[in-house]
Structure 1
Amino acid sequence: MTVLDPTVRFTPTTAVRPVPPPVRAPRPAAEHATEPAGPASHFRADIQGLRAIAVGLVVLNHVTGWPGGGYVGVDVFFVISGFLITGLLLRERERSGRISFRDFYVRRARRILPAAIVVLAVTSVASQVLFLGDRANRVVEDSLWSLAFAANVGFALQGTDYSDSSTAHSPMQHFWSLSVEEQFYVAWPLLILAVTALVVGRRRRVALGGAMLAVCTASFAWSVHATAASPTTAYFSTFTRAWELGVGALVAVSAASLHRLPDAVRAVAAWAGLGGIVVAALAYSSQTPFPGAAAALPVLSAAALVAFGNAPGGPGRPWLLTSRPMRFVGDVSYSLYLWHWPVVVLLGVVISTGTWTFAATAIALSVLLAVASYLLIERPLLTAGSRRAVPAGAQPRGAVVAHRVRSAAALTVIGAVTAVACVALLPDRRPTGGALGAMPAAADASLAPLAEQIRNSLEATEWGPLHPALSDLSTARAPEWGIDLCLDVDGSNVARCRYGSPTAPRRVAVLGDSIALSWVPGLRAALPADQWAVQLLTWRECPNITAPTRGMKEPVHTSCMEHREWALDRIAEDPPDLVVMSNNYGAPLVDPVADPSAVWRAGTEEIVARVHATGARALVLAAPPTSVALEECATALNSPADCVLPVPDAYDLSASVERRAAETQGATWVDTRDWFCFEGRCPAVVGSTPVYIDHMHLTAEYSRRLAPQLLQALLGTA
């Protein structure tokens, strides 16, 4: 998931072609770019079309999940922004001998802030009405980060994973790229001014290009390193993204030279650029390490289109990028980007995501809000900002300001009132302070058998107090994971990730991924610490099979394969009494044509056989059936029944494969579905306890509630 570059819509109006008469609204100033060979600048309709492609990719990706790499649209916008802003700064410097930083930043604030403030205000109000718990308050905090052009910093500090669909997303999350741009443009004009002050004459642009190339090289190198070392923070970092804007700047600096290339070469390069963007959008996915080296394809492709898009025979002439529909989408692209993500997040409260109804409604509502925002806020500002839009003195400054204020206020009020009115028509299902839902009075969640607790939870009609609370779910994972940092166990922390008495007569090892780790609070609660020692041998995204798998950010999860051998060797050197094995059933295989069922069965059998060869017994726990992310599902408009899911088909398939593999090797396999579901239906809350912190990892509290079931499984193995 990614965002649009709005800066291209907010460049100075002094370096553009004459604005049309008042009867025609002028286009955004940033739509004007230079044609290097000509003496004057003029409108680049092809860049409008490129902007339309970029925002279309982003919106489709966020609304439908297709194309998987639609997030590269933001990289396209970064390139456009770097090209247009740098060109305008250079022309101002060459024309006047100076760069007015005050005018530059005032113009950017005037263009960017009004529409953004309206979106932030409306979204904050709607979130207060729709969301439960602390989620609404976090939206307000995110709004403040966004307003300060520091959203990327805020989300990085929160540890937000942009591509993680298992947690609740902030409706302000897309503001990160605006923050990246504004942070970039704090320093960029200074670099241009410094270089042009030190070098004069014809060498000025050469020197400036060299300085920009150095910045791009350093930023790209850091992007590759940071994406591998810390992918979550790298995604939001200005330092990993600066080179993308810098590439656009290089095109602006070298525009005259590039324009002298033969038309045929320019046209081929432009078509290749368009193809590169399409390939990246279709080939990339949420598992592609990004930005890193992968960003080079969409960035360089966008640069080719920006440089050569209007070449004779290129995609900018005569129809593709410059058609009226494309130019219209380009006109409203900034507002469309601002509105679409809040619409996606907030509409998901009312309509089930992943349906055609949701997709059609989200797109239609986003477009309507974008057009309204453009007509009421953006275009009046752009018209008022042009000195030639109206005859001198025909529109007093006070009237202009008043019109701007009225337009922004109107859309804010309309949006807020609409959101509140829609909610008012729906039943209020906020927590009442009583027990969860309408449970039968005889049902005591602390004493009733687990099956009865689950059945009663399926009948709940209202949200009650939850323990842990919705606002605490992100930190409600197993303390062995969140506090002791024992998710990835190796030689450096294996001793620290051992629990129980050092003299305990019996030992159990836990082998697998984060799913295995989420069972540990329950295992420790089930086993007396003076009788059992629990040794963790887990590793993130590392299932108990021998076949190579892909990680979330790795094409081949090599660290998993290395860890698996290390863990099995350790078990062989000092065999425990029991090895508890568990893992997520969704890890993708490296081999795309392999039969997953056959590979998983063979791989599981081999792991179990190696465990049994040491003299230890193997217990295979089926992973919990995946569920909804409760923090996202639970809202003021629904009830616990809306967060009930059936046992997924993937669970049944995985259970069948694991059961056959375990039985073949004489191991114990435990079907855990009845620990979470009743008659095939699985609530997200049992009693007052949320089952998951996301959609698959157990809360520590629920894991401990399963201690009797886990003990029974362990005794059965013994």
Structure 2
Amino acid sequence: MPVTSAQGIVATAPSSAGSTTRHGYTYLPALDGLRGLSVVAVLFFHAGHLRGGFLGVDLFFALSGFLITTLLIREVESTGRVDLRKFWGRRMKRLMPAALATLIVTTVLLAWYGQVAEQAHALNDGPWAQFYVANWHLLRGSGGYWASFALPRAFGHMWSLAIEEQFYMVWPVAMLVCARIGARYQRVLVGLIVVGCAASVLTMVLLYDQANPTRVYMGSDTRASSILVGALFATTVMRRAVSAVHRAIGPLMQWLCVGLVVVLGIGWATIDGPKSSWLFQGGLFGHSAAAALLVALCAQTPHGRVSRVLGTPPLRLLGTLSYSLYLWHWPIYVLANEERTGQSGWSLLGLRLVVSLAAAVASKYLIEDPVRFHTGWLRGSPAVLSFVGVMALGALFWAMLPQPDTAPAAFDPARIEALRPTTSTTALPAAPGSNLGIPGATSTTFGKQRISKVLFLGDSIAFDEQPAIEAAIRAAKVEVEVAAFPGFGVLSEKVDVWPIYTDTIARFAPDLVIYQLSVWDLGTVAQQRVAYERLVQLVRGNGSSLLFVTPPPFAAMDPKSTLPQLPDIAVSLAQRDPTRIGFVESVAAWGIAFALDIDKDGVPERKPDGTHICPAGAARFAAWLTDELARRYDGFTPAPVREWALGGWRDDERYRVPLGICANVR
């Protein structure tokens, strides 16, 4: 989240606003108000209550570019140069103390109270966050930006601060080079900004991957445009343009401000990041441009109605605390989860917000302000040595802490064997909250057939189940193949599975195809029915039988999700042709609701993202599935769990990444 050392100030004439700072800058409360709104959007987004709240970061980017460039232009106009040492010194004094405190305090608390995965991520991410390259580090092993907030990564939000600091390192150098051109340096500056924006947006478009847009969302190169467009509005050329528009339209300027606020607000409330491909094809830049224009208009009309509303004391206060709030809120969200607090929903959010606000106030008044305003004596070589010393101590802190054991937790096959048999082929009602939330979804069965080849299809959930399924079915002396990957589903917008399914079925010629209902099978009832009927036709056309299987229950689901419709569609298809098509509810394998550790033995069956599977869960599901196949088909005899559950598949990378994702739980 961007922050400047002069929050809410611009280098304009004192008469244009209510007060002037001791440095000669004009203080604009509206800009602090915008900062306050933005951090609130981020806080609610990370709590799952504001779908497009992640766009608050883009407003921060634009505002930061505007303010920093304003300060740098003022310095060039006054002195003819940019003092890089002083500029970078101010940045470090403003940003580093609170950031380092957040990293250290959070890591210590996680060492006492955290799960292995939380500890491992803190130790792995912390050094990169300290040196402001967290975004590139997170990109190396990221499973996706939006998915990351379901995982215990306490410093996962530091990517935006890294981008900001990288901008602070590069931009003043560019300004200094432009300043040496002479009186017309701003023309060159505007050209540089325009070229930079165009290159950044083009890079985002070219590198965009619909299956995982994280690279373009968190890359410094692809996000530079969001900061540079703010810088553009800080130039004299754009200030004059905004002023000319103000003179031309007069009072209508306020309606333009209102329109921008409404458009941004609607976007924050409704835009679904991972499903909005247009965002990464110019949409993010458009949002940042609108935000930058709003910033410029508020700076131009500080006494306007919109500026006065944005400058009200509550928003202004949140704006002054925005950096601290952003730093502390996500570690607090990770620490204060449902399991530790016993709270959920709005009560949990209220608790988190209160603690975050308290931490932000303490950080500002006990750490940030004392360093900013009471260390004026620390200049020159002593300042440099102090900075180097602090960074070295931080590095030593990370080096000295012991690394937790992040290996997947070992499970006891006997515990799974003891659960067999666990199902019946009679109807199984789905309890409220189970699986896809369909009341009355039932298992169907068909006449016994002999099978020698099984094909299992699914998405990332099935991908996690794959090693155990392959081991268990092969132990039963039956051939098996699995086509399961993230993003797979018959209605997936990310992957066209039909050529893959068609080729695989034709090549492998399975007797039975098992399809696990996919979280990517979104759409209307009509679309879902058409897709499932197409799957039925594909399977039957190759002489195979089809068995629909429900996925495990999820920790949370969008109330507007269309997934709960899927079991009814599958059941209706099975009832049309009960000899070739079946449906089975997997509640007997997973229980009626999500549980990280189903049997409370410290070995997790599920991953903390609320969706995916650990080795113990994969083995549990495979044992249940093979029992189900034995009841439905001739010639299928499940092997004892111990014969296949102790193989090397348990240490597969999918259970190790992210770090500690399937480690023992406390």
- Calculate the TM-score normalised by the size of structure 1: 0.70
Listed one character per residue, the Cα deviations across residues 43-85 of structure 1 (whole Å, up to 9, x for unaligned) are: 122211111111111112223x222111111110111111111
Letter in 2 for 1:56: V
How far is 1:610 from its partner? Answer: 3.0
- Structure-2 separation of matches of 1:673 and 1:208: 62
Tell me the secondary structure at the aligned position of residue 546 of structure 2. Answer: strand
- Structure-2 separation of matches of 1:701 and 1:134: 17
Match in the other structure for 1:76: 59
Q: Is the 8 A contact 2:134 2:159 kept in 1?
A: yes
Q: Is the 8 A contact 1:267 1:309 kept in 2?
A: no
Match in the other structure for 2:586: 672
Superposition pairs of residues 254-273 of structure 1, within 5 angstroms: 254-261=238-245, 262=247, 263-264=250-251, 266-273=253-260
Q: Is the 8 A contact 2:416 2:620 kept in 1?
A: no
- 2:10 is the counterpart of 1:33: yes
- 2:491 is the counterpart of 1:576: no
Q: 1:540 aligns with which of 460, 476, 486?
A: 486
- 2:334 is the counterpart of 1:345: yes
- 2:655 is the counterpart of 1:658: no
Distance change >3 Å, CA 279–CA 626, structure 1 → 2: closer
- Structure-2 separation of matches of 1:177 and 1:695: 25
Superposition pairs of residues 332-481 of structure 1, within 5 angstroms: 332-348=321-337, 349-352=339-342, 354-384=344-374, 444-445=414-415, 447-450=417-420
Letter in 1 for 2:513: V
- 2:151 is the counterpart of 1:168: yes
Match in the other structure for 2:443: none
Letter in 1 for 2:572: R
How far is 1:167 from its partner? Answer: 4.1
Q: Is the 8 A contact 2:122 2:154 kept in 1?
A: yes
Distance change >3 Å, CA 111–CA 698, structure 1 → 2: closer
Q: Which moved more, 1:680-689 or 1:85-94?
A: 680-689
Tell me the secondary structure at the aligned position of residue 521 of structure 1. Answer: helix
Letter in 1 for 2:495: S
Superposition pairs of residues 16-27 of structure 1, within 5 angstroms: none
- Structure-1 separation of matches of 2:351 and 2:602: 34
How far is 1:375 from its partner? Answer: 2.2
Superposition pairs of residues 543-554 of structure 1, within 5 angstroms: 543-544=489-490, 548-549=491-492
Tell me the secondary structure at the aligned position of residue 142 of structure 2. Answer: coil
Q: 1:281 aligns with which of 268, 277, 280?
A: 268
How far is 1:268 from its partner? Answer: 3.9
Q: Is the 8 A contact 1:240 1:291 kept in 2?
A: no
Q: Which moved more, 1:205-214 or 1:286-295?
A: 286-295
Listed one character per residue, the Cα deviations across residues 373-402 of structure 1 (whole Å, up to 9, x for unaligned) are: 22223333444378xxxxxxxxx879xx9x
Q: Is the 8 A contact 1:37 1:259 kept in 2?
A: no
Match in the other structure for 1:329: 318
Q: Is the 8 A contact 1:541 1:587 kept in 2?
A: no
Superposition pairs of residues 234-249 of structure 1, within 5 angstroms: 234-249=216-231
Distance change >3 Å, CA 664–CA 603, structure 1 → 2: farther
Q: Is the 8 A contact 1:49 1:321 kept in 2?
A: yes
- 2:126 is the counterpart of 1:136: no
How far is 1:31 from its partner? Answer: 2.5
- 2:2 is the counterpart of 1:5: yes
Distance change >3 Å, CA 91–CA 588, structure 1 → 2: same
- Structure-1 separation of matches of 2:500 and 2:98: 55
Q: 2:105 aligns with which of 122, 136, 141?
A: 122
Letter in 2 for 1:665: D
Distance change >3 Å, CA 352–CA 608, structure 1 → 2: farther
Over the matched positions of the two proteins, sequence identity in percent amounts to 26
Distance change >3 Å, CA 449–CA 397, structure 1 → 2: closer
- 2:495 is the counterpart of 1:559: yes
Distance change >3 Å, CA 574–CA 32, structure 1 → 2: closer
Tell me the secondary structure at the aligned position of residue 319 of structure 1. Answer: helix
Superposition pairs of residues 155-304 of structure 1, within 5 angstroms: 155-164=138-147, 167-198=150-181, 200-201=182-183, 203-228=184-209, 230-253=212-235, 254-261=238-245, 262=247, 263-264=250-251, 266-287=253-274, 288-289=276-277, 291-304=280-293
Match in the other structure for 2:643: none
Distance change >3 Å, CA 108–CA 303, structure 1 → 2: same
Listed one character per residue, the Cα deviations across residues 567-592 of structure 1 (whole Å, up to 9, x for unaligned) are: 23653577432222113256421xxx
Match in the other structure for 1:710: 625
Q: Is the 8 A contact 2:422 2:624 kept in 1?
A: no
Q: Is the 8 A contact 2:41 2:50 kept in 1?
A: yes
- Structure-1 separation of matches of 2:357 and 2:293: 29
Q: 1:46 aligns with which of 22, 27, 30?
A: 30
How far is 1:599 from its partner? Answer: 4.7
Listed one character per residue, the Cα deviations across residues 438-468 of structure 1 (whole Å, up to 9, x for unaligned) are: x9xxx95264234689xxxxxxxxxxxxxxx
Superposition pairs of residues 304-315 of structure 1, within 5 angstroms: 304-312=293-301
- Structure-2 separation of matches of 1:574 and 1:435: 33
Greater relative contact order, per chain length (Cα 8 Å cut-off, separation 6+): 2
Distance change >3 Å, CA 102–CA 281, structure 1 → 2: same
Listed one character per residue, the Cα deviations across residues 191-230 of structure 1 (whole Å, up to 9, x for unaligned) are: 22222323x22x3211210111101110111122333365
Match in the other structure for 1:691: 605
Q: Is the 8 A contact 1:247 1:303 kept in 2?
A: yes
Q: 2:536 aligns with which of 589, 608, 624?
A: 608
Tell me the secondary structure at the aligned position of residue 106 of structure 2. Answer: helix
Distance change >3 Å, CA 30–CA 702, structure 1 → 2: closer
Match in the other structure for 2:402: none
How far is 1:360 from its partner? Answer: 1.2
How far is 1:543 from its partner? Answer: 2.8
Distance change >3 Å, CA 316–CA 219, structure 1 → 2: farther
Q: 2:91 aligns with which of 94, 108, 132?
A: 108
Distance change >3 Å, CA 225–CA 82, structure 1 → 2: same
Match in the other structure for 2:431: none
Q: 2:552 aligns with which of 608, 617, 624?
A: 624
Tell me the secondary structure at the aligned position of residue 559 of structure 1. Answer: coil
- Structure-2 separation of matches of 1:285 and 1:227: 16
How far is 1:174 from its partner? Answer: 1.6
Letter in 2 for 1:449: L
- Structure-2 separation of matches of 1:264 and 1:325: 26
Q: Is the 8 A contact 1:76 1:302 kept in 2?
A: yes
Q: Which moved more, 1:335-344 or 1:160-169?
A: 160-169
How far is 1:702 from its partner? Answer: 3.8
Match in the other structure for 1:55: 39
Q: How much is the aligned-residue C-alpha RMSD, in angstroms?
A: 3.7
Unaligned 5+ segments in structure 2 are 17-23, 391-408, 424-450, 635-666
How far is 1:330 from its partner? Answer: 1.4
Q: Is the 8 A contact 1:343 1:366 kept in 2?
A: yes
- Structure-2 separation of matches of 1:33 and 1:283: 32
Letter in 1 for 2:202: A
Tell me the secondary structure at the aligned position of residue 588 of structure 1. Answer: coil
- 2:466 is the counterpart of 1:520: yes
